[in-house]
Structure 1
């Protein structure tokens, strides 16, 4: 699975450069560059550290934390599609209950 664009987006969301995030996740800057360009495979423990750093540096406006977003990404879940389906389901249940 390619995580490069996710890594770039999450890093930039907390205003960190590759040089700044490298020591925080215990990965060299050159390795981060390769990961972001999908030239290397990301190890699970590195992803977890990355997401923990991002989560500690941000206050998300939504209810989804970077760690949850990362786990969803690993499992191939589209968070937007899932939230839309749940919204439709809840709306349908409310409509059904109100119609009786």
Structure 2
């Protein structure tokens, strides 16, 4: 799976620049760029921190469930939220 497009979409959706993301994650701007272009291997800990910084825990849930998250983050959020509500909450 290519994570770069997902990471970029989450960052932009949070209204963050690559520079602000780099500051939050204590990384260089070039590493942020490499992650978003799949030129750098994404570590699980970095994915978790990225999701926290951009307020996207739903992406982790979708990845865990095996859902495709590359093209549309919002519909997946609605699907997961709807599923959780259907199951009576968490």
TM-score (structure 1 length as normaliser):
0.64
**Bigger-Rg structure (1/2):** 1
What residue is the counterpart of 2:57 in the other structure?
67
Please provide the CA RMSD for this pair. 2.5
Structure with greater contact order relative to length (CA < 8 Å, sep ≥ 6): 2
Write 1 or 2 for the structure with the bigger share of helix. Answer: 1
What corresponds to 2:72 in structure 1?
none
Unaligned runs of 5+ in 1: 56-65, 91-100
Q: CA-to-partner distance for each residue in 1:78-98, whole Å, 9 max, x for gaps?
A: 4758x3xx88xx8xxxxxxxx
Which consecutive aligned stretches of 4+ in structure 1 deviate over 3 angstroms post-superposition?
78-81
What residue is the counterpart of 1:12 in the other structure? 12
Tell me, in whole angstroms, the C-alpha distance in 1 between the residues paired with 2:65 and 2:29: 27
